[in-house]
Amino acid sequence: MATAFTLRDATPADVPVVVHFVRALAEYEKLLHEAKGTEADFAEALFGPTPRAAAIIAEADGKPVGLCVWHRTFSTFTARHGIWVEDVFVEPAYRGRGIARAIFRRLAQQVKDEGGGRLEWNVLDWNEPAIGAYRAMGARGLDQWTMQRVDGAALDRLAE
């Protein structure tokens, strides 16, 4: 039996919930050692004077059961903005109930309502359940593109 759920925008009171789910996702992805964001960091990023991201909380059975953190992007090729889904996590007991799909549907509608052109995200290549769900939503992999990253000491050196 499917459990009813709701989606809502996160509020400052949800910062501990955001941190909890980010750490749960990091653990699932075997990247907990990289999850360094604190409650203060997330409060500033989501609700500070210049918010850099936003979050959606999924609730079922009277409690938070999922999270999406997202931010806006811009495509020079289309000259339109989009939304980048940084993280989506649903508690294992609530997976398969349409929560993640509802989150993506909500963000897709937001992109369209705002006149944007893209909804994008990354997925680890070993996460077959997620890849299958994304393909079922109509997502396509961009295999010809490789993600690049500069962080840590390399970022420091590049900034000098």
d(C-alpha 97, C-alpha 99), whole Å:
6
What is the pLDDT at residue 2? 57
pLDDT tens digits, 63-118 = 999 999 999 999 999 999 999 999 999 999 999 999 999 999 999 999 999 999 99
Query: By the 8 A CB rule, do 15 and 42 touch?
Result: yes
What is the pLDDT at residue 152? 86
Rg (CA), the chain: 16
> Residues of the chain with pLDDT > 70: what percent?
99
94 counts as catalytic: no
What is the pLDDT at residue 147? 83
Cβ within 8 Å of residue 72, ≥6 positions away: 81, 82, 83, 84
Q: Mark out the alpha helices in 67-145 (DSSP H runs).
A: 99-113, 128-136
What is the pLDDT at residue 19? 98
Domains assigned to the chain: 5-159 (3.40.630.30)
Active-site position among 110, 134, 155, 158: 134
What is the pLDDT at residue 1? 47
d(C-alpha 145, C-alpha 105), whole Å:
25
Residue 109 has what DSSP assignment?
A: H
d(C-alpha 59, C-alpha 66), whole Å:
7
Retrieve residue 3's tokens.
């459990």
Query: By the 8 A CB rule, do 61 and 38 touch?
Result: no
Retrieve residue 45's tokens.
């990023």
Asked whether residue 3 carries a pLDDT value surpassing 60, the answer given is yes
d(C-alpha 139, C-alpha 124), whole Å:
14
What is the pLDDT at residue 145? 84
pLDDT tens digits, 109-147 = 999 999 999 999 999 889 898 889 899 999 998 888 888
| Spatial CA neighbour of 123 closest among 103, 143, 109 | 143
pTM of the predicted protein model: 0.91
